[in-house]
Structure 1
Amino acid sequence: MSDSAFDAGGASLPASTSVPARPRHDARVDSAGKEHVIDAMRGFAALLVAYFHCRQVAWIGMESFHQSVGHALSLSTIAAYLTFPIAWGSAGVPIFFVISGYCIHRGGALKLAQNPNYQLDTLNFWARRFARIYPVLLAALLLTCALDWISFQLPPVNHKLREIGLHAFLVNLFSLQGVAGKTYGSNGALWTLSLEVQFYAIYPLLFALRRRLGMTPVLALVALVNIASAYALERHDVQFFTSYWFSWTLGAWIADARVQTSAAGHARPAPNWLYAAAAALIALGCVAFHFGQYGAFQFWALGFAVYLYKALERPRAVQTPASSISPIARVLSRFGDFSFSLYLIHLPIFVLLSSLLYRSALQSSIWPSFGFMLVAVPVAYVFYRLVELPAMKWSASLKPRNRAATRAARA
């Protein structure tokens, strides 16, 4: 839910000579140093979360399905059973948190490597984050309101629908869901966006602590805050950024560590057993999910962070042209471009489709869920082109160097 094109330091990332120049009218706003592993994982996480919700809206669920079909084999049955891993689809959320921390801090980490006395321009950082997030959020809330209003007219009312009044709208607009109210209408995915906004609001403090203490002590401090917050808030169903701050700061730590490693020159490569450790932590998260989502999130964040730390070490993962990466990674990277839009609007689309086509009745066939995804993805892409892309450009224009260039051009 964050993009590497707009870093905290206010400057573009280092250019890669291997990336061909794009025309100015190209719809994609790339960072100069494209990290395809980040884009691919962002796309993977968005699709994972979206289909996780899609199954909840459209399908009867694995247990009921198994009871109804038993061991009968058909193409539909096999397809349904193959979706079993999607039961852990909420793992996409901690993936987003880790990626967000990495993307936001990477620019600042590069600046600090060049100049240890570098100070973050807090007001400019907040202004660029506002320009990047809030136009898209406002449009998503308005779209949710419109789609949910239609869904409310089609009884029986879908179980995913909640209040779409002014109070709920303002709670979500000001990113207070989880503290002052619930998520807006059917758009339950918005609970994580409030945490993202809170991460951005507190980032200047984290950056200042990084300058004074170093990133590893900051990570340890955040871990203690995370534990205390989980005990004081999360267990009482109060969702505040402090309960998820550790996963976000893990991403920032990776950015800092990778920049420091690059600055050191010929550093020893990380051991390959980190991939096995990542897989083990992710598996532990799947086990922990049986006892509660919050604990699973912590394991998944750790597992993905370990994977990302190692994956970013590969030369092919960083600053390479799209033609040199695998076809699957290339496709996921394209989904990563509009993952924020897909994340923000998929649920009200699914709920409307379920209300229109099936009167909100859960289906025994898995095929409708695939069809719902085929509708949501292109709609999200159009939303990206019409709403998110202009917000990205506005955010980019607020970078100090870009603003100075604009003023010079007007003079």
Structure 2
Amino acid sequence: MSDPALDAAGTSLPLSPPPHTSQSAAARARGDARAASAGKEHVIDVMRGIAALLVAYFHCRQVVWVGMQAFHQNVGHSFSPGALAAYLTFPIAWGSAGVPIFFVISGYCIHRGGALRLVGNPAYRLDVGNFWLRRFTRIYPVLLAALVLTFALDSLSLQLPPVSHKIREIGLHAFLVNLFSLQGVAGKTYGSNGALWTLSLEVQFYAIYPLLFALRRRIGMNAVLAIVAAINIVSAYLLERHDIQFFTSYWLSWTLGAWIADAKARGTAGARAPAWLYVLAAAFIVGGCVAFHFGQYGAFQLWALGFACYLHKALDPRDGARHTPRGLRALSETVSRALSRVLSRCGDFSFSLYLIHLPIFVLLSSWLFRSSLQMSIWPSFGYMLVAVPAAYVFYRLVELPAMKWSASFKSGPARTVRNLR
């Protein structure tokens, strides 16, 4: 759901004019140079692609399939291809883990450029107006188009009775609630597009980010993380348990990503995080899967902690002295690289996929099966083969122009640096 790392890292946070001294100019130049030289990180795009596909297929199974319990009761221990394929989708029961992955990545990407600049120039200040303008032009044209598309697809689905229970209100009030990112506070998500509940949180994260950045400058990122964690706990008790979804209840996951960006920016070049972070990540992720049985909210918090541990380690610089693999290992690495390229490409248009997949699934189910759940798992794969290319087209027609429009508001020096790369 968040911007590509390169777009968010280098120039989304232009410098406010500092005092005209040689020392401040030198510090500014160092910060600008370091932020501009920070390239696109492959692991971020790969994880964004994984998260988008996880969430999309998680919803796909809910829309078209009867579910694992009903399937097992009907099919039993069959070893037919269809049964094996269905059983292999069992981990997708925790597919909503893609949401906290998105939150952590978003916090990392948004804060990365500012963190790098602060290292070079501790006096650096965020240009709040420009930041909000770029966030607005990046998000709202795409959101508006997604809402219009949802209205069009849901209008077709409503003509195919029995009407899917996934379709909620598609009137003007619901449209405006979602357009202004108030779903979860002033209303429900729009039509069949239930995934939009997280987008309101993202917009709220962006709105409050200047405050987080100012606190980072004054008290440091560790203290900021502790404060946000306390707010997160209080908000969960006061709001989330009453089904009021506000950013404060999920702020910790986003701030964890920002904390990682800050830690990586301040770290020594070539420094590597301890390997036990992978073990800790696995423990949190497994804990989240267990907690999911009791409720989604607690699972989200554990998954966010787990992915943050994983990301902190995965962002380590690569070892350039690796030996050339041979045999099966070489084949394995070739397949792994190819899969990473595919996932990275999906990561490029993950925002579009996230925004439009559910209305597509609901329309397909209404048209093909009159909204009845299917025993076979195969239709779910077909649905994905429709949604992913459709999301790519949406990305090319809507999201990419919005990204270019947003980029046009970059500060002059930063734009010059980017154009020279």
Aligned mates of 1:94, 1:403 — CA distance in 2: 31
Match in the other structure for 1:91 = 97
1:257 aligns with 2:240: no
- Matching residue of 2:13: 9
Q: 2 CA distance for matches of 1:100 and 1:334?
A: 17
Contact 1:397 1:403 in 2 (8 A): no
| Contact map agreement 1:128 1:396 (CA 8 A) in 2 | yes
Q: Which runs of 4+ in 1 moved over 3 A?
A: 10-16, 264-267, 402-405
Relative to 1, partners in 2 of residues 1:365 and 1:132: Cα closer, same or farther, differing over 3 Å? same
Secondary structure of the residue aligned to 1:177 is coil
Q: Mapping of 1:256-295 within 5 angstroms?
A: 256-261=262-267, 264-265=268-269, 267=271, 269-295=272-298
Q: CA deviation at 1:357?
A: 0.4
TM-score by length of 2: 0.88
Aligned residues of 1:9 and 1:111 also touching (Cα < 8 A): no
- Paired residue secondary structure (2:8): coil
Q: Which residue does 2:123 correspond to in 1?
A: 117
Deviations 1:160-183 (A, max 9, x none): 110000000000000000000000
Alignment match, 1:297: 300
Against the structure 1 CA distance between its residues 404 and 260, is the aligned structure 2 distance closer, same or farther, given a 3 Å change threshold? closer
1:138 aligns with 2:144: yes
Distance 1:324 1:374, change over 3 A: closer
Partner of 1:311: 314
Question: How much identity, in percent, do the aligned residues show?
Answer: 76
Instruction: Please tell me whether residue 346 in structure 1 is matched to residue 352 in structure 2.
Output: no
Paired with 2:379 and 2:387, the residues of 1 have a C-alpha distance of: 12
Q: 1:36 aligns with which of 42, 63, 77?
A: 42
Residues 353 and 392 of structure 2 are in contact (CA less than 8 Å); yes or no, is this contact kept in structure 1? yes
1:333 to 344, 361, 365: 344
- Give structure 2 stretches of 5+ with no counterpart: 15-31, 321-333, 417-421
> Which residue pairs with 1:357 in the alignment?
368
In the alignment, structure 1 residue 206 sits paired with structure 2 residue 212 = yes
Q: Select which of 187, 204, 225 maps to 1:219.
A: 225
Deviations 1:365-400 (A, max 9, x none): 000000000000000000000000000001111011
Question: Which amino acid in 1 is paired with 2:160?
Answer: L
| Local SS of the residue matching 1:119 | coil
What does the per-residue CA deviation read over 1:220-272, in whole Å, with 9 as the maximum and x for residues that have no partner? Answer: 000000000000000000000000000000000000000000xx3464x2221
Matched to 1:6, the amino acid is A
Change (3 A) 1:298 1:394: same
8 A Cα contact 1:132 1:394, kept in partner: yes
1:182-241 CA-partner distances (Å, limit 9, x unpaired): 000000000000000000000000000000000010000000000000000000000000
Return closer, same or farther for 1:358/1:55 CA change in 2, 3 Å cut-off: same
Q: Does 1:108 align with 2:110?
A: no
Cα distance in 2 between the residues matched to 1:244 and 1:57: 26
2:34–2:120: 8 Å Cα contact kept in structure 1?
no
Residue 390 (structure 2) pairs with residue 383 (structure 1): no
Q: Count how many residue pairs are aligned between Structure 1 and Structure 2.
A: 382
Contact 1:281 1:299 in 2 (8 A): yes
Over the residues paired in the alignment, what is the CA RMSD in angstroms? 1.8
Between the aligned partners of 2:273 and 2:398, the Cα distance in structure 1 is: 40
Task: Find the aligned partners of 1:163 and 1:183 in 2 and give their Cα distance.
Answer: 8
Is 1:215–1:256's contact at 8 Å kept on the other side of the alignment? yes
Q: Please say if 1:157 is aligned against 2:169.
A: no
The separation in 2 between residues aligned to 1:404 and 1:387, in whole angstroms, is: 22
For 1:77, the equivalent position in structure 2 comes to: 83
Distance verdict in 2 for CA 1:122–1:316, change over 3 Å:
farther
Distance 2:304 2:415 in 1: 39
Q: Is the partner of 2:194 in helix, strand or coil?
A: coil
| Matching residue's letter, 1:92 | G
**Does the aligned pair in 2 maintain the 1:58–1:361 contact within 8 Å?**
yes
Task: Describe the superposition over 1:281-334 as per-residue Cα deviations: whole angstroms up to 9, x where unpaired.
Answer: 0000000000000000000000000000000013279xxxxx998222111100
